[in-house]
Amino acid sequence: MKLSLIVPVYNEQNTVQEILKRVLKIKAVDEVVIVNDGSTDETLKKINQFVKKLSATKKKKIHLFDKKNGGKGSAVRYGLKKVTGDYVLIQDADLEYDPEDIPKLIEPIKKGKAEVVYGSRFLGPHLNLLFWHRLGNGLLNLTINILYNTTLSDMETCYKVLPTKLMRSLDLRANKFDLEPEITCKVLKRGVKIYEVPISYVGRDFSEGKKITWRDGVDALRVIIGQWLLP
């Protein structure tokens, strides 16, 4: 299987080089599609500096695109048009998710156990989360589990591995963080079962650059209920 990573980036000048360094160490990663979502700091400069120093072999794996700011969802949707792999995985540009977990994510697919795999932050070792974010995650998971008759532990996880063909067929519309529930709800409505594996997680707080807020939780709830009401 050929695995493509979509890396949406917005104002991550302090972490983007390190995350790309870690990603390129993972042999299972065949392609890295970076989408700079109109960063206003030196993120784009940092990416270019990093890519310039790579070997010719590693440079071939990197595809960099620059677009106007539109939100994480818009960046992922843009990247989805550019990937060439059989499977696609979203990789945030901060250091909350560890690329060393990627082999664990694709193992069930290689063994034929699953078509879609999520990395759950709550099944594996993790730094304590902000209380209100944890509560919000719990409520959103509970809502999806009730409405869609499932038992997911981490619907909002960034680490989602899907067949590229399936991902494209979902006709995603979200522009912001509501992309996560949109993917999940549409996958579940297709009758596709989601396989979860534990991953490690080191969450940031707002002083370190965390961007998601309570408003994004409201948007997520709107998407969950809205998708459930659709025929």
Question: For the purposes of burial, counting CB atoms within 10 Å of the CB of 178, is it exposed (0-12), middle (13-18) or buried (19 or more)?
Answer: buried
> Is the CB of residue 47 less than 8 Å from the CB of residue 9?
yes
The per-residue pLDDT string of the chain (231 residues; one tens digit each, 9 = 90 and over) reads: 899 999 999 999 999 999 999 999 999 999 999 999 999 999 999 999 999 999 999 999 999 999 999 999 999 999 999 999 999 999 999 999 999 999 999 999 999 999 999 999 888 665 556 555 667 777 888 999 999 999 999 988 999 999 999 999 999 999 998 999 999 999 999 999 999 999 998 864 544 445 566 577 788 888 899 999 988
Residue position matching structure tokens 């960099």: 64
Of the candidates 43, 40, 35, 2, the one whose C-alpha atom is nearest the C-alpha of residue 164 is 2
Reduced to 3 states, what is the DSSP secondary structure of residue 6? Answer: strand
Cα 97 from Cα 46, distance rounded (Å): 20
CATH numbers and ranges of domains, the chain? 3-229 (3.90.550.10)
Cα 178 from Cα 219, distance rounded (Å): 6
